[in-house]
Chains A and B, each alone.
Chain A
Amino acid sequence: MNPVFRWFHQLGSPPYFYRFATRALPWFGIPALLLAAVGLYLGLLKVPADYLQGDSFRIMYIHVPSAWMSMFIYVLMAVYGAIALIWRIKITEILFLACAPIGAMFTAITLITGMLWGKPTWGAYWVWDARLTSELVLLFLYFGVMALASAYDDLRQGARAAAVLALVGVVNIPIIHFSVQWWNTLHQGETVRIFGKSSIDGSMLWPLLIMALATKLYFIFALLLRARGSLLEQERGKQWVRDMLVRGRA
């Protein structure tokens, strides 16, 4: 069998996944921290400010990668949800549920940094532009998934119900984006694209890409951390947990 396939198969086994997550965590967490430090240093301090008025554009280095992650995570969450519904693999249910709070966090960061960017640049904390409005809707889509899953007493049942909702949401996200864009151009006019990039200078781009990579690595770190914790909670009575803890290898 293809080794990659086999590895995926093995990850379905709780003890294997737990051990893998424990070993992998530092490999994602530390690079994420380092890359973020580099990216933020470059973006917040090194990139020249004479491009746009003032320094407030630097918030972009937090805002944009967070926005990307907020959308990417929802799609990934929906994929995990679909796998969980079709194949009912417990680990995928756990991974599915773990995605939601992380995605919501990135969405919240996107919204708040967007507001803090908007005020010095455009004079208002909140503008009903297409992106901010879509992000606000996305936040509620995340909250809906989280609330639905936790409303069920049985964790696995809740995960499956929430997976249906996540799939409905993922189908609707492009529609919502399109409709909000359409609505926005009708009411605000085409000219006001609040966070539009006119032309990105090379030196401005690098910190952005570094931050994008840093947020991805952080996401994997946080996902593995949460998944490991959920797995431990759900499997607490099992023998493999006892063995692993007694042998001191957890």
Chain B
Amino acid sequence: MLAWLESQGHWGFIYSSFAISAALLLADLLPPWLRQRKLRQELRARARREQQRGES
């Protein structure tokens, strides 16, 4: 795989730099975002249930 990369010339390294950086960024950004979203949905559902129970 490395041999292929090296045969691509300078632009191969540039594109892979960009790609790996983007991948690392997403790997850092997405998990907390998704975790939060799930937690918010869960808490919202629970809060709404409690409210309905309180009203009924």
A–B touch (CB < 8 A): the answer is yes
Binding site for B on A (CB under 8 A): 40, 44, 54-56, 58-59, 62-63, 66, 101-102, 105, 108-109, 112-113, 116-117, 119-120, 218, 222, 225-226, 228-229, 232-233, 236, 241-242, 245-246, 248, 250
Q: Is the CB of B13 within 8 A of A117?
A: yes
Q: Is the CB of B18 within 8 A of A229?
A: no
Q: Is the CB of B28 within 8 A of A105?
A: yes
A-B contact count (CB 8 A): 86
24 interchain pairs (CB within 8 A)?
A: A54-B10, A55-B10, A62-B17, A62-B18, A63-B17, A109-B20, A109-B24, A112-B20, A113-B17, A113-B20, A117-B17, A119-B6, A119-B13, A222-B29, A225-B29, A225-B33, A229-B35, A229-B36, A232-B36, A232-B39, A233-B39, A236-B39, A246-B47, A248-B44
- A55–B39 alpha-carbon span in the complex (Å): 45
Residues of A within 8 A of B6 (CB): 119
Q: Is the CB of A225 within 8 A of B44?
A: no
Q: Is the CB of B40 within 8 A of A109?
A: no
Q: Is the CB of B13 within 8 A of A241?
A: no
- A101–B31 alpha-carbon span in the complex (Å): 12
- A7–B29 alpha-carbon span in the complex (Å): 27
Q: Is the CB of A56 within 8 A of B28?
A: no
Q: Is the CB of A232 within 8 A of B14?
A: no
- A183–B17 alpha-carbon span in the complex (Å): 28
Binding site for A on B (CB under 8 A): 6, 9-11, 13-14, 16-18, 20-21, 24-25, 27-29, 32-33, 35-36, 39-40, 43-44, 47-48, 50-51
Q: Is the CB of A62 within 8 A of B10?
A: no
Judged by DSSP, the binding face of B is helix
Contact flag A116-B13 (CB < 8 Å), given A44-B18, A66-B21: yes
B44 to chain A, nearest CB (A): 4
**Which 5 residue pairs across A and B have the least CB separation, nearest first?**
A229-B36, A105-B28, A245-B44, A55-B10, A56-B10
A29 to chain B, nearest CB (A): 10
User: Which of B13, B27, B29, B33: most chain A Cβ within 10 A?
Assistant: B13
A21 to chain B, nearest CB (A): 11
